[in-house]
Structure 1
Amino acid sequence: MGKSESLYVLLAERMWTVVGEALSGGDRMLLEPLQSVGESLKWEKQKEAERLGNSLETDSVSTWSPNFWKKDLEEKLMQYMTAQIPLLDSSTDTNETALKQHLSHLERTFVPSLEHRSDVFREAGLLVTYARCCHASLCSHLATLTDRNCFSFSQSLLIYEWIIKMYKRGSQACERPGHSLSLGAQCLVWILWKTEEKLLATARKEVGKALKEAFDIGKPPWADAAVIEILTEKTEAARRVSESLGEKVEAECLEECLRFLESYEDEVRSFIQLDGCSQIYSSLRILESCCLLRAVWHKLTYICSVSTEQNVKVNGFLHRMEDDIMEHFLQTITTKVKGTLKDHFKKCDSGFDHVLESLKQSFLTFGKKKTDIYEALVKAVNAIIVTEYMQALLTTPRKTSAMQRRRIANKIEEDHRMMQTIFKECLGPAAGSLKDPIKAILELVQTSDPEGMKIALLPILKEFPDLRKEHLSAVLDIKDSLSRDDRAALLKAFHDNCRESETEANLLFADIEVKPRKCGLCGCLCC
């Protein structure tokens, strides 16, 4: 190392000592030495310009020791400023109180201490470098805070709000005479943009997670008020800080709602592919969730700035899911009831009553939500149960003994009483509009005299015009002590009064096929 280089190294060491003392809070006695540091840096800058202007070799310029003084000064300043920033617990459970205290310390202690020391650096001609390092150290710290994945939306919003506050304070300070230092606007705008990005991403993440928890297929959905809060609380919090930020957060929350509905529709489709009796209750939960989502979205259209495109998409999602799950639910009910009724009139306990009781409990739970589709759904299930019951009744082979016929008649009476009780409990007064062929058949079978049976037959033919002769014959098989003449008379009355169905309404018996069977009394084929 040459003699001049050795002197430059010694000078640099002395300069950094002076800078360190100035940063440590030394009095104004250090102003003159610090001004010497400033003059030395000016001299270095002039020499560098001269060397470059004289087209000296690049190597000699780049290895010249004073060439690194500015960089070394910046490193010294950055090291000091970074060390003055208080540490914030890096654990994932950092709460809002701790973050508020940290930001308050930055505002009340760290930033004022930098501003206080700026006067001496300004007089020494080093304010530009000093200010640049102040901005860089603070922005680096704020960027570190913003990048924390453990921070919630509300914590990120605290940082955003603090940056805006410091930006406004810096702008006001610039207007005051004698102002020496404020946090750089460009620096704060950059970190504000970065924090906003993180804030919106966190909003999407938290809203998506909350919606998944609110509409877990395996659990009851949350109340509509709670769901609306998920989608609006972040917007309201952001709007208290900045109207434009509130608009951006609202847009993100609405878009996340659409993304959730798309994924929820896929989940519903996957659910439909599964088999199992537990699907009955889960299907009702999905229908309940769709109704709740529809109600929530309707309210959001008044609270938020919902676009026409978003509205069309959401209604499309909900319509498809409701149609798919309704169809699946009714198919599941049909399969379950059909399987239970297969040997219902042969066994003492086929489990039919358990199926009805389970449906009742599911419906009553579902009905508490007062959904729009509840009544239509229960009526559709009632129609399925009645249809499958009549199918099982008319197609089940029956023995000819009087005891067997009485047992079947008693079973029909018990089943009918139970069905009436359950559907009245589920539907209330609306149960009065339900079609009840079982009651009509029961009254026909329980009527004691043939003339009375003819009279009881007439309203059946009127209400169910698709009743065929073989259906009536199967019903008469249940009747105890019915002579061949009386049977023939009833079948003739049917022939005289039956009419072709003009509409497709109430076609209960149309798809029920009853095979002619030999009569146990005469051996002929009875129709």
Structure 2
Amino acid sequence: MLKMMTFFQGLPVERAVPGALNFLGSPPKVPSMSEGDSETSMSEASSEDLVPVLEMGTAPDRHEEETSKKEKKSKGGLMKVLQVLTGKKNKSQPSTVEPDVKAKTSPGLDAPLPTVEELKADLDLGRLEASGPLLALERELLVAAAAGGMSQEELVQRQSKVEALYILLRDLALGVLWRPLEVAPERLRQALAIVSEQELEDRRAAAGSEDSVLAPTRPRRWLQLWRRGVAQVAEERLGGQPAAGAEGLSEAERAFLHLGRTMKEDLEAVVELLLPVFPAEFHVVAAYAESYHEHFAAQLAAMAQFELCERDTYMLLVWVQNLYPNDIISSPKLAAELQDVRLGSLLPPRQIRLLEATFLSNEAANVKELMGRALELEAQRWVQDVPPQKLNGHCHSELAIDVMQIVSQGQTKAEGITADLGMQIKQVLLMELAGFFRSYQRAFDEFLERCKQTKNYKANVIANINNCLSFRMSVEQRWHAPQDTHSHVLGPLDELKARGFDSLLQSLFLDLKPLFKRFSQTRWAAPEELLEEILATVAQRLPEFSGLQECFREELMEVVHLHLVKEYITRLSKRRLVLKTAEQQQQLAGHILHNAALIQHFCTQNGSHATWLDPALPRLAEIIRLQDPSAIKMEVATYATWYPDFSKDHLSAILAIKGNLSSSEARSIRSILDISTGLHKAAHSLFALIKVG
């Protein structure tokens, strides 16, 4: 569908023949008396009633005139049309002289006026030269009416004959102008001159506005009638049947294409071939553009009244908001000539807003459905135990690519209508994406529960964790929204990643649990050897996670880092170790410091960036080492600023190790947390994960 948006870019620059305005069919009809009425009017009085009895010679034979016209037409042809309209001459033929309309149509000062019958015969033969003598007859009649001496019945009779001749001349001249490329250039210029002359005569009559016994016949407004005919031409051209051969398009889409192509080609022909010939007062480009625009708008308004399918709604908006204003009105050949023509929009703003709302609703439903299908296919692969692909050594899933491509296509469609609609749909798509992430998390949770025994379980878990990176990067790049918006949208992904980490580390942490228990069982007698065994166990399992993206391997190591520190503190808080001397407490503090250094070095070396854990064990060792209650209070206060979730219960468990503290001293030290509690919110949870008692 989107490829249709560039249709006009491929239109030919040159046309082999000027066919855009070579209209077929009969010329437009204008309000006029019938031929019978015209004949009756012509026969009511003889020509002597209108002109003096002065012979000008007999009129040319009709057969001779028709033969002469055919010869002129065959000699002119297309080359003659283009030469005259563009001002270029054929070097192999003698140059033609542009007709002097007034010289041909106006009799000499001493020449008698032709009779009414002669003028009618000339007009029946299509001779536009009759316009001059006819205008002279009209003026003579006005003079006679002003002078008096002639009965009103006779004046009315003569005026009716003049008007009957004018009807013939009008139909003849306007018929030429309504089919401007089907006539010889000289004849076109004659017709243009006649209409211009009649417009001038209308203005003169309006300026004179003298009372007369004659019925008012001006203004005749032939220029206005010409514009009406142009409107009928536009209706005929745009109302035609779309050309066959547009396979794969709906009926509405074929109609859009026919309307747009016809209007563009016809207006380009007007600018190229008619504008250099038509006088400025015709405003020929504006006349055609406004007529075509009006009919184009009427056609689209009629279409919009029906319940359009989703595809046709989209294409209607594309034409109204993009292709028409940009590829037609602002096309290179038309932009300069149409910049002062106020055509406006093809549809009223309210109707456009309704169509846009329908489009947004349709697109949101489409995107939701397509994303749901993509997730369903992905979940089927999990259940069927299909191994994920490998990309650069990492477990890879196409889900993120497929989903973001669906979202991108929806946004591209909206932007293809207007930039503003592209901005509107971004928020719609963001909300649909947030809903998809929630569905994704639920499907992943179900997979974690039901498919633990499948062969490719861990590989698929890793692939889905890796998806979180692609999704996050796409959302942050496409939507520059506030952080809380990202948190709301991406929250399910964070939960999915955390659940994935838990699943991957579950067996490792189960293996570490009995090792940590041995700290209390041996009463911390050989802490260094025990911790080295713990770290060796972790190191042995790390290759299992090599399929993770680098950033996620680091995050996973931070989870391991947190677990090691948490479990170490948990064993210290079991209240099973009571040291009554300062020397024993200092020795334990030394063990803790050494173990803390081992943990920090191992985790950092394997990618952990959880530096916030670095003070956790060393500062607890300092609390155990210190003997002065005041110094211990200061250390506890500082510790509470680093770890706001460090509670009195946790402090009591640590102080229980110091068997030489009295109850009052311990109570005084615990009271320091009453001051610190609530001053800071924990950026990370540590002690909230540790249960004491």
Q: What TM bracket, shorter-length normalisation?
A: 0.3 to 0.5
More helix, by proportion: 1
Bigger radius of gyration among the two: 2
